[in-house]
């Protein structure tokens, strides 16, 4: 394979650097005969969508060919690492394709019957069966487990938790013993204290977070992936929930305070990462929209980029651009820290050391 050479300001940082790429890895010492593919500008570690669903479309599960097209769309928008936050199909064949983003699979959503979107997750018949279901997903996934923490309870007419506290604690302990981390879909307030107390590693959406829970997440290092561009759908969800007026108003209230919640979490020191929730109601390829939304909610531009680049990569066990690390990167003519819209137009996309865009 031909050695490649790049020169530019490598983020995070302000100094211009030279890096070389050999066999998909970064080298920091000169490699004779390397072909220069970037000469000047700014180089950013590959973007990360920390909440994405490769394998889900507007009508539910999709076939593998469609899932591959979804991944290509994300790649062409600069997303080179995906934490797939639950998929109803087996996407392991996509992990073998060198032209597609790296995918970290969370297996399938674990929910209760009639307490989540049909056909996407696994229905756990009795709450006490959750630890066993988690153990199965530990074997099937890539180190993440996805729980449905709350959903509408039609008998109550509003959001309500799915799992008793003792069952949650046992299930999360099972995941941790198997080397996996656990995250959960949570919209409302009531499920959050129990999930945090049980030792969950991450919260998805988190629109019901309160000051006390945010403080506890910061103390524990529990991460938040707020999916702000998905929360923009809450008014539409509310308008279609005429049978459940309490739930509809609750969704509107959660939507109204989402930005302030994220700002408070960032200020408190909660690790916050960018995720689109692409699949279903959100189109793939919109990660920059989420980065912009996080900036509007209170992150600095550099924090917002980090939440979808070097910071998210480190959280997921990957890396920036140092000696021996994976050569997954984007190159830009302008500094995206000065204008996040720059992120929409990379002049080079390199994945596994290959120029793919």
**Percent share of the chain, pLDDT over 70:** 100
pLDDT tens readout for residues 7-27 = 999 999 999 999 999 999 999
Looking only at the bridges linking them, the beta strands covering 348-351 and 329-332 are antiparallel
Nearest Cα to Cα of residue 207 among 162, 262, 163, 168: 262
Nearest Cα to Cα of residue 197 among 168, 226, 230, 225: 168
**Looking at residues 107-134, what average pLDDT do you find?**
97
pLDDT of residue 29: 96
pLDDT band at 174 (very low <50, low <70, confident <90, very high): very high
pLDDT tens readout for residues 91-102 = 999 999 999 999
pLDDT tens readout for residues 292-338 = 999 999 999 999 999 999 999 999 999 899 999 999 999 999 999 99
The residues near 35 (Cβ < 8 Å, ≥ 6 apart) are 2, 3, 4, 5
pLDDT band at 280 (very low <50, low <70, confident <90, very high): confident
pLDDT tens readout for residues 188-243 = 999 999 999 999 999 999 999 999 999 999 999 999 999 999 999 999 999 999 99
Q: Is the pLDDT of residue 1 over 70?
A: no
Mean of the per-residue pLDDT values of the chain: 97
**Percent share of the chain, pLDDT over 90:** 98
Q: Is the pLDDT of residue 4 over 70?
A: yes
**Looking at residues 44-68, what average pLDDT do you find?**
97
Nearest Cα to Cα of residue 105 among 171, 55, 162: 55
The Cα 349–Cα 219 span in angstroms is 37
pLDDT of residue 110: 98
pLDDT of residue 2: 85
The Cα 143–Cα 273 span in angstroms is 18
pLDDT of residue 74: 98
pLDDT of residue 143: 98
**Looking at residues 267-294, what average pLDDT do you find?**
97
């Amino acid at each position: 394979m031909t050695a490649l050479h790049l020169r530019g300001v490598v983020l995070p940082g302000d100094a211009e650097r030279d890096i070389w790429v050999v066999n998909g890895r970064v080298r920091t010492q000169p490699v004779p005969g390397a072909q220069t593919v970037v000469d000047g500008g700014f180089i950013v570690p590959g973007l990360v969508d920390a909440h994405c669903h490769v394998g889900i479309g507007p009508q539910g599960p999709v076939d593998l060919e469609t899932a591959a097209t979804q991944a290509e769309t994300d790649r062409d928008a600069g997303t080179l690492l995906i934490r797939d936050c639950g998929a109803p199909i087996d996407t392991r064949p996509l992990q073998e394709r060198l032209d597609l983003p790296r995918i970290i699979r969370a297996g399938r959503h674990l929910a209760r019957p009639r307490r989540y979107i049909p056909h996407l997750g696994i229905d756990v018949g009795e709450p006490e069966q959750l630890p066993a279901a988690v153990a199965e997903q530990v074997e099937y996934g890539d180190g993440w487990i996805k729980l449905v923490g709350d959903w509408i309870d039609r008998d109550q007419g509003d959001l309500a938790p799915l799992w008793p506290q003792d069952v949650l604690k046992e299930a999360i302990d099972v995941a941790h013993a198997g080397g996996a981390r656990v995250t959960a879909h949570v919209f409302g307030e009531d499920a959050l204290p129990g999930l945090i107390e049980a030792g969950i590693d991450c919260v998805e959406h988190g629109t019901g977070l309160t000051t006390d829970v945010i403080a506890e997440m910061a103390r524990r290092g529990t991460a938040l992936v707020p999916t702000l561009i998905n929360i923009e759908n809450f008014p539409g969800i509310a308008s279609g929930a005429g049978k459940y007026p309490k739930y509809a108003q609750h969704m509107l209230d959660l939507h109204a305070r989402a930005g302030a919640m994220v700002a408070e979490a960032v200020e408190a020191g909660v690790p916050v990462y960018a995720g689109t929730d692409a699949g279903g109601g959100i189109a793939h390829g919109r990660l920059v929209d989420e980065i912009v939304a996080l900036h509007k909610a209170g992150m600095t531009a550099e924090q917002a980029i980090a939440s979808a680049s070097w910071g998210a990569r480190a959280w997921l066990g990957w890396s920036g651009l140092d000696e021996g690390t994976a050569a997954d990167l984007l190159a830009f003519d302008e500094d995206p820290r000065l204008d996040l819209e720059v992120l929409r137009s990379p002049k080079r996309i390199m994945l596994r050391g290959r120029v793919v865009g």
